[in-house]
Each structure stands twice: as C-alpha cells, then as structure tokens.
Chains A and B, each alone.
Chain A
Amino acid sequence: MSVNEAIKELIENLSMEIVMADKNDGAALTPILKKLNPLILIPLNPSLVNQTRILSAAAVMHSYAKKAEESGNGSIEKALDVLSRAAAAMQVIADGNQPSEAAFPPELGLQETKEMPLKTEFASLYLSLKNLSLKAKTAGKKETAAAAALFAVIIEKLSNAEALQNEELLISMEAWSGAEMELAGKSMPMPKTQEQSSTVHSPLSTVHPEASEQAGLNTDPALLAEFVTEAMEHAESAEKNMLRLEKEKGDKEALNAVFRVFHTLKSLSGFFGLDEIYLLVKETESLLSKIRKGELAISETLMELLFKSVDYLKKMTANVSASLKNNTEIAREAGLFGHVQEIKYTAERKPSVLSAVSEACLVNTAKDAKPQAQAAAMKETVKIDSQKLDRLIDTIGEIVIAESMINAGAESAASASGGYFKNLSHLNKTTRRLHELGLALRLMPLAAVMQKMERIVRDQARLHNKKINFTASGGETEIDRSVVEKLQDPLVHMLRNAVDHGIERTGEDRKKAGKPETAEIRINAFHRGGNVVIEVSDDGKGLNRDRILAAGIENGLIEKGKIPADQDIYDLIFKPGFSTAAVVTDTSGRGVGMDVVKRNIEALRGRVDIMTIKGEGTKFSISLPITTAIIEVIVARLNDEKYMIPALSIVESVRPSYGSIMTVAGKGLMIKLRGSLVPVFSLNKLFYGKKKEKEDAVGQTVVVVEDNNKRAGILVDELVDRQQIVVKSLSNGMENIPGIAGCTIMSDGKVGLIIDAAEVIKNATREKEEAIV
C-alpha cells in the first residue's frame, strides 16, 4: 500500500471516530487524539507537499483537541464540530484537491500559508524542517521545535532569494544549541537536515563546519592581506607548472607542484573561513589527487578545468583583497558553482583504461626533474619592503654625490699628502662597488613577465583556434624593477597582435606557404651596449606593406603621390588611430594599440623598431636602458649656467668654422655638417625666450644631438666635463617642463638641469618651420 493510500485510510478512520463520538462523553476526544497521532508521525515524503498540509492540520487538530479535553465537557460539542470539518478538509487534500477557504475552521488557527513557490531543492529542506518542528512539538521538545521552525523560515527566505539578516542566522543557530541541549543534554552532531543541505545549492551549504566555527576569529585584516599575497603567488606558481604540465604530460614535478599549491590553499582558506575559495581548491585538489594516483588521465579538457580553477582562484583572491581595501563584503564569483560541479563530475568518472597508461608514463618520465628549472628556483630569496629598498638606493646615490664632491674639492687641495689621495682612491673604489650593488638590487629578471606572456599566448591561440608554439629565452636578463611592470602592457599587446594578425588564419594557409602547421612566436631578451633588448617575433605573414600604404593615404597620414621608404611605411602602424585590420576583433584592430605601445616604451626612455618580411614573419625589437637612475652626461656651460646633455643623445660636438655657419632665410641658424644642414638654436631662446646678442655660433660650440633620426645642434659656450650622474626628477609640479628631463646635484653642490634632447630637437625643428626671418 502506498503512503498516500495509507494516509487516506488513516483520515477515514479519524473521520469515523469523530462522527461516532458522543458529545456528552468527557473522554470522547481521547480516541480521536489516538487516531490523530499516526497522521502526525507518518514518514514524510518531501516531494508530496500535500502531506505536509495534512500533517500540519493533524498536529493542530491534536493540540486543539487536547485543549478542549482539558477544558471540560462544555466544549466537547464545539470541538467535535470543528474536528469533523477539519477532517473533511483533510480528506479533500488527500484526494489531491484544494479545499475551499472555509474548509478549515478558523478555530483551529490553521493559517493557510500562502503557497510560496519553493524551488524543489529548498522544498525538501523546508519540509524536513517543518516535519521536524512538528514532531518535536508533539514530543514536547519545545526548543527543538522552535529552532526547526526558525530554520524553515530561513530556508523559505533563501528560496525566494530574500536577504537574510545576520541576526536571523545567529538567532537560529542559538536556538539550535538550545535544541541540542534539550534533546540530549549532550552535544549532538549536526542534525540530518543540515547535512542534507550540503547537496543543495545554497550559500549555507558551502559552510564547512569547522571553518564557520572559526569564521569570527580569523578575519584579522593583516592576516587576510598576507593570505591574499600568498594566494596570488601560489596561483602564479600553479599556472607556471600547469603550462609545463601541458607541454610535458609526464612531468611529475610539475604535477606535484600544482597539487601542493591547492593542498596548501585548502588549509589556508579553510582557516580563514573563505568558504567559496575553500570549496574551489578542495575540489580541484581532489581532482589533482586522482590524477597523481593515475586514476585520471591528463586530457585537454582536464587542463582547461585546471586553468579555469586558477583563474577563479585569482579572481576570488582579488575579491578578498578588494573587500579588505574598501571594507565591504567579499564579492561572489558567478559561475563558480557551475565550475565546481564540473570538476566533481570529471573527478567521479570511473578510472579509465588510460589510467594504466598514464601511470606508466608517470613512472617512465621519472627523469622528470628539469634540472635547470629547479636550479633557477633554488636561489634563496628574501622579501624586502620596497619602500625600504628605495630609500637604501637613494642613500647610496647620495654617497656617490658626496664622493664626487670630495673628489672635486681634492683636486684643489694643495697640501694634500700622499696618504690622502690613496684613501680617496679607496673610497672611490668602495663607493663604485656599493653603487653597483645598489643598482643591482633594483634589477629584476624578466622571466616573470615572460611566463605571464606564455599564458596569454596560449589563451589567445585557443581563442583564435590557431596552433602556436611559444618560446621564451633570456628570462634571466635583468632590468630595473619599475620598468618590468610597465613593460607588461606593451608586450601583451604585441603578442596579441602577433596571434591575431601576424599568424596566418588557418593551418592550411601556412601549409600552402610551405610553413609547418604550428606557428612559432618567440620572445627573446638580452643585453646589448647599455641596453636591454627584447625581441618579439613570429613566423607569420609579415606586415602587408601595400595595405599599410593604402590605409596611410586613406587616413591622410601620407600625401598622395609621395611614396615613403619601406621602413617609414611600417612605422605608420605606430600612429594613433591607425588600423588596417579588416575586422575589429576583440583583441585588436581598433587602432589604439601600437601607438600606445610606442608611447609607453618611449616613456621608459626606450625605443621600438619593426623588422618584417612579407610571408616570413615580423620582429619587434624593444630597446630599453638597463637602469633609469644613472646616465652619462656631457656638462656644457652657457653663460654662467651649466647644463647636462645625456651622452647617449649626442652625436658629436663641433666648433664651427666661419664658413660652415649660415643663416638660411626663414629657417634661422644652420651649420653644414658633412654635407647636410643641421638646424642650430640656442638654449637661451628655448628656455628664456630671448636670444643673446651675437649668438651666431662663432667661437661657440655646437653640440649635435640626435633622436629618431632627426638632428639639431645646441649652442653652448663650451664643454666642461663628462660625468656619470644620478638622475633626480624635479618635483612639485616641475616634472613636465619641456626641454628639461630632470636634474642632478653637481659636484659643487648646485642643482644642474638635464636637457631632454628629444624635446629640444622637436622644438628646434618646429621653430625653424615657424621662424620669421
């Protein structure tokens, strides 16, 4: 007999009993009560909502009848009337129909709860709780009943996506402790209903029992901030090793490294009560564990899942960081539960035949340990507060200046003894060494940036459905810390361009061109002269000269009829707004990219050059000064002011003979330099707007500077010295004075200004064009 039929029978019995009751019999209600009990205690089938209503009705009738019994004979008649109507209503429900409003007598106080559309998963929970509540009430366990009822309300709210007040949760939890004590006097395990909830998609369900207990204790912002830093580092490390794993599926070291990351993060996030992160890493860790044991093979889909996990991890850690900074709630990540379910599903697949094979692979490639990678990681590192580091380096800079001041003074020390100069030379050597060390502290290897690039190329390649092999070399090349950070965006952009535009659209296209199907994108870094050179190259189609030329004419960047040199045509892509891309894709083609790239690199005092061969590929070459802190300059005197001109920008200096200077109509002063005319102008004019009289370059020196293939001559009185100086920036709103790149403290203690050669050249050529005779 089904439950439903059993219920119907019970209700029938009940009705009969009520009908047969004698209203004058004081004990008439007792058998009715007896008949109500089984209805209350029926094992509840949660999916049959009607059963709850019957159950609630029965319970209410029970208490009503009891009260009537206690209050004596006078109320028996009324009670019987009420009960019989109620029983009739119950029968209607049991038959699967809705009773009319009037069916349940108001005396029962049975409120027709408005049937809220509880989602199925909530419905079962809700009903279990309600059931529990009623059972508890009948059993006289008031606390339990109250607690269960409170939780039921919470579930109801959740199912309607209503906001929960913290107090509600707290009160419910407190009520539950009361219930526990009431039920047993000893601590009970979490009730069945709570455990069931762990399979339900509700925030409550992700609560890890231990974690939530400690949740209050571990929200110390300082500790959380450290967690954020560590988690980010772990995420980077995991990603790096996942990339290795993807390339070399048998790389045991890499797999273990990834596993360790998630294992560590599991305990950390649990400790901090970061429930969602905990859930994510816990499931990912079990997935990884299965892979380690050989129960699962590493497939493309699996790697995708792992990468997605890392992405979620990064996003969620960033959310924690943001919530710390802004003092708000931690934002949730949409799609997280979906992702976790996917992981669970993948993990639960039965071990495949492949597992045996992968096991074999794991064992065989026990030559796993990539020695050089490990060795590189072996360097012991120390974390330093970057502010302290900067101050240390500033101080070292001061010592260098002080030393040169002493040097300058020493030259005029007539009574210097032999020992004095020996000591001075020793000081020189030590300072030089200290200085180099200081500079070295600021340097950082490019490897970290390159690794990020690898991930980006990989993702982009998948996005565009292209097979691309990415190699990075020269990661140990070091460059100033501040530069590394600013390099990222330009590099990302260039790589995206390479993937999107550089590489042929399909493998077929490549095959037709006689190239291997898998394209190559390379990034290479090395030292050359005083610079760090970073090359980004691809073996794709190369730049299309004709299309760029056409677009250049179209955008008005080239005059019609003028055909510039090839190199100048390629340089057009650096102009703002320029784009020949047929389609504006998500990654590029909007024409805002390459000019920003160029500007960013120039802001770092670097330059970028293009080399391309149609059909064979393109190479971008970025050249940056290793450190921006110290440069070599030529000190020049003009009137009684001294100016520093960066040696790198100087081509040569001449004392023009009378014949080589000329005033060209409309263009001002020029000198003839090996066949070409170089415009000359005076710093006086640039800086103070007025020309000194008799500034005609006779008897003076012209320093020829060059930038981007353009030249100008700077008129000075004489060259004084060649020095290495520490570059300081002018602050207080004077950072952007045109023509001044910065300043330094000279050996006489005075402040000396550093000339911005590029700016000067720009002004010089512009002035010449505007000059009135």
Chain B
Amino acid sequence: MIFRNIFLTSLIFTSAAAFGSLPDHIGLVRGLCPTLSPLLVKKSALELSSSNACEAKFTGQILLSCKAIDCHTLVQSYKKNIQGRSGSVVGE
C-alpha cells in the first residue's frame, strides 16, 4: 500500500511538475498560506479565468482566510503559471 502510494505520487509529480503550471500556482499560494488546502486552491484556480474572480466563492474564501495574499498576487500567479505557457521564456 505504502509502495503503491509512493509510486503513484512519483508518477503525478513527474507529469504535473514538468509543465510548471497548476502545481506551481498551488505552491506559490500555499507558500504564502500554508494552511490552505490544495483542493481549495484548485477550485479557486477555476474561478480565476473570469474578470470578477476575486469576488467568487472559493477565491473569496482564500482572500478572507489568508491576509498574506491579495487578489493581484493570485491573478498574476494564475496568468503566469496557468494561463501563460511554460517555455514562452527560454530558461523559465
């Protein structure tokens, strides 16, 4: 069971980390707000594509519960890590 979980975790890390997208966004957010659950950050990421994302449900929860992060930082991280394309800048 333990070895299976380690195997699965390594597979996920291999595939998800290579493009530096959602995991990087989650890493940045949870780096500033360690108590936030990854699932909440992912749900917020779905909201961040809209212009009023910071008023949306899950993004609002993040901003309410963690003062270390603001709307601008969330949106910029989304633009860089999810909306933007890994490889657009050589060496990033």
Instruction: Report whether chain A binds chain B.
Output: no
- Give chain B's interface residues, CB within 8 Å of chain A: none
